[in-house]
Structures are given as structure tokens and as C-alpha cells.
Copies of this chain bind each other. A is one copy, B any other.
């Protein structure tokens, strides 16, 4: 059996652990997993599922890139799978440095990552490619709050999760939001239900998996109940978005569906936190990554999947307390 050493970043996160579940849940490769996180290994759960673990600086730290390169070299990492949003542009931009030491970074091209990290640029690029998006503009380009027809939705152009993203009902609220948060995008407010589509593209851009799911219930931004759906529209749009953005490797795509009206508003060029549902539906994208980045040929058609309902619960990892815990 072939051996692969895979470095997964952010193993303290649900997404990091989800990727590990995919890598462990296959028997075509013997995988050694190196994990990183900004937290200590005895303060997160995910380190327990790794064969080696390193605490690293945050991606914004000047030393981050050198640290990660050193770990990849020391551990003989074949594939580097970045999980944490601020890491993506750094790793995408410097993919050649990793290639030089024999590590392939499984991430979209630098330009694509930059587009995806900017929610206004994402919508503009998708619209150019014929993908339906909410009407969107930079809040700073709104000359007078009276121009907008309320309610609208505002969010930071570069925001992660749903921080500072909210509905705005009046001109006064809009003016206040714009004064408080810089670089806001203002969009028409979308109705309907939220869907996420997990997609996966080979190193040549070939789209091999498009699995839409309805987010039934979320907690702290993570789907904890969800169901995969054979929605042909969302599958077709998923393929189209991969092409328009020229994606490589994993991505997850968010849209709102309101009857016949489908609108895409966000693309994260990384694996998703609800990846275990896609895997349970029959599409182990981390395994596909191992195969395609190993040079195996892509399947002719999109990988088939089942409709499956996922529900989640907390599991625990316990760490001994090395020294008495200081009492506050």
C-alpha cells in the first residue's frame, strides 16, 4: 500500500478533524497525519488524531511561512492541506516554496483565493460567469443611504463566519453600520433556505465532485444537522462555479434557495466543516485528493452520492492537567 504524509492545519477546528476523518476512513493509502494548530496540543481535541502535532504561529505572523516550511521538510510532507481561512492566501501565494521541498499544497491558485476572500469580488466574478448572485456593492460607493431599498444585508468584504454580518432595515441603521465597520458589502436581502455545496477539483481543474446539502440547523456557524440533496440545479451551478473560479482541490459554496430563485454569495476554497456528511453520502473527497494528487486519473463523471441526513453530538478528548490549575 502506498504511503502518504499529509499535513492538515487547524486540527483544533471542526474542519480539520473532518479532513482527518476522511483520511482515516479509507484503506487505499497508508496515511501518516501531521497536524498543526495555534493552540497547544493538550488544549484541543484534534491533536489526538494526528501522528505528529506542532503548535504554530497564526498565519498573520511574519514567522508563519518559515515555520510551516520547516515542519513540512522535517516530516517529509507529501500533501499540505490548509484549513484556516487566513492561511489560504499565504500558502497559495508561496506554493512554489513548498513544491521545492517536495510538498504539494492542495489549494486554489493565489488569484482565486484572493477573489474568494473578498465577498464583493466573489459576487462580481461569479456574475461575470453567468452565476446568479445577490445584487452587491461596496457600502462606501453608496452616495446616500436613501439610494438603497431596504431591508438590505451588510457584511465585511473580507469577513469570516457571520461576524458583523447582519440585516439592515433603515437608512439610519445603514449609516451607523457603515460608520462602525469598514469595508462593508451591501447586498439585497436573500430569502429561502441556505445550502452548502462541497466541490472537489483535480490538480488540472477537472471537477469530480459536487455534493449539495441543506443546512437544517447550525450552532456557532457549523451545520450540526444537514441533509445531502440531489438537486440538479445546484449540481450544475456547482460545476459552473468551479470553472468560473478555476478552482483546484476542495471548496465549499454557499447559496440561498427560494423556490426557483438560487443565489450564490460565498465560496470558501477549502474543505468544509460538514465534510463528514459528504463522505457519508459516498464521496470521500480527502481520499480523492490522495488519488488525484498521486497522478491517478480522474473519474469520467461526477462521483455519485446518496441522500443522507447527518446529526451531530459532542465527543470528548481528555488531557491530564500537568500542574495545578491556577484558581482565579
Copies of this chain in its oligomeric complex: 2
CB atoms of A313 and B318 under 8 A apart: no
**Interface readout for A292-328 with B: 1 if CB under 8 Å, 0 if not?**
0000000000000011111111111111110011011
Docked CA distance A244–B310 (Å): 44
Binds B, one of A65-73, A159-167, A180-188, A224-232: A224-232
> Which residue of B42, B316, B317, B328 is within 8 Å of A259 (Cβ)?
B328
> Which residue of B219, B227, B280 is within 8 Å of A316 (Cβ)?
B280
Q: Which residues of B contact A314 (CB under 8 A)?
A: 14, 17, 222, 224, 312-315
Smallest Cβ distance from A274 to chain B, in angstroms?
9
Docked CA distance A45–B311 (Å): 6
Q: Which residues of B contact A231 (CB under 8 A)?
A: 327
Docked CA distance A319–B219 (Å): 20
CB atoms of A315 and B318 under 8 A apart: no
Docked CA distance A308–B321 (Å): 5
- Measured CB to CB, the nearest residue on chain B to A220 is B219
CB atoms of B316 and A312 under 8 A apart: yes
Question: CB of A30 within 8 A of chain B?
Answer: no
Give the most central of A42, A192, A310, A327: most B CB within 10 Å: A327
Q: Which residues of B contact A328 (CB under 8 A)?
A: 192-193, 214, 257-259
CB atoms of A318 and B309 under 8 A apart: yes
CB atoms of A307 and B321 under 8 A apart: yes
Smallest Cβ distance from A310 to chain B, in angstroms?
5
Q: Which residues of B contact A214 (CB under 8 A)?
A: 325, 328
Q: Which residues of B contact A320 (CB under 8 A)?
A: 306, 308-309
Q: Which residues of B contact A220 (CB under 8 A)?
A: 219-220
Q: Which residues of B contact A219 (CB under 8 A)?
A: 219-220
Q: Which residues of B contact A306 (CB under 8 A)?
A: 320-321
CB atoms of A313 and B192 under 8 A apart: no
Question: CB of A46 within 8 A of chain B?
Answer: yes
CB atoms of B327 and A309 under 8 A apart: no
CB atoms of B193 and A313 under 8 A apart: no
Q: Which residues of B contact A113 (CB under 8 A)?
A: none
> Which residue of B17, B228, B311 is within 8 Å of A317 (Cβ)?
B311
Question: CB of A277 within 8 A of chain B?
Answer: yes
- 10 closest A-B pairs by CB: A45-B313, A315-B315, A307-B321, A309-B319, A193-B328, A280-B318, A219-B220, A312-B314, A45-B311, A276-B316
- Residues of A in contact with B (beta carbons under 8 Å apart): 14, 17, 42-46, 192-193, 214, 219-220, 222, 224-225, 227-231, 257-259, 276-277, 280, 306-321, 324-325, 327-328
